[in-house]
A and B are shown apart, each in its own frame.
Chain A
Amino acid sequence: MNPESRKRALRYLFQKVIDPLGYKFSPDEELVDFLLEQEVKLEQKHGITYCPCQGITKKREDNMKIVCPCIPFHRKHYDAMKRCWCGLYVHKDVTNPDELRQIPFDEIKRG
């Protein structure tokens, strides 16, 4: 499958997962396109659509938590930011993703 077709397929598949979780694709189409392209490349390299903004380690259990869409593994963190870490997904009520910040989970835990 060529990269463009794979991007479209991923978008279709991911939509089905994120919708019931209360998330949608970011309205920033350029960002979404870039991130999906990176995921296709990561999938070609590793066989898995890892998050483009989280590091793959040698610990399989940790790596499984960064497989896109990784929302279920980081629910508290992402709900607090109203977005996922890389910004591919945002809460359904978000209209301007530029207002949202990446906040490290340690800060959210501290409150």
Chain B
Amino acid sequence: MKVFMYTLSTCPWRRKTKQFFKERNVKFDFVDYDLAGDEEQEKILEDMLKHTSNTTFPFVIIGKEVVVGYNPERYLELLKKGGKK
């Protein structure tokens, strides 16, 4: 199952979110919004605002589902749904 996240380098929930997936040996990709260039930031915002009305981070995509915020219960639920034990 593909896991991708938009994060902020200044946000402590970024570390916790990454740690959650690392502990379960789930590979993920991420982009730090605040460290991205102007053009990339525009694209990230465009992508995020398709799913949410706020620019709140972390923004996690598990499979085709989006989870806004650090929400380990929801992450686990989606991983299980995707076949991860």
Listed in ascending order, the chain A residues whose CB lies under 8 Å from chain B are: 31, 34-35, 38, 41-42, 52-57, 62, 66, 85-87, 101-106
Residues of B contacting A: mostly: loop
Interface size class of B (residues with CB under 8 A): 10 to 19
Q: Are B71 and A102 in contact (CB-based, < 8 A)?
A: yes
Q: Are B53 and A86 in contact (CB-based, < 8 A)?
A: no
A55 and B33 contact, Cβ closer than 8 Å, known pairs A38-B10, A86-B11, A104-B56: yes
Additional A-B contacts beyond A35-B12, A53-B57, A87-B12 (10; CB < 8 A): A52-B8, A53-B8, A53-B10, A53-B56, A54-B55, A55-B8, A56-B34, A86-B11, A104-B56, A105-B54
Listed in ascending order, the chain B residues whose CB lies under 8 Å from chain A are: 8, 10-13, 33-34, 41, 45, 52-57, 68-71
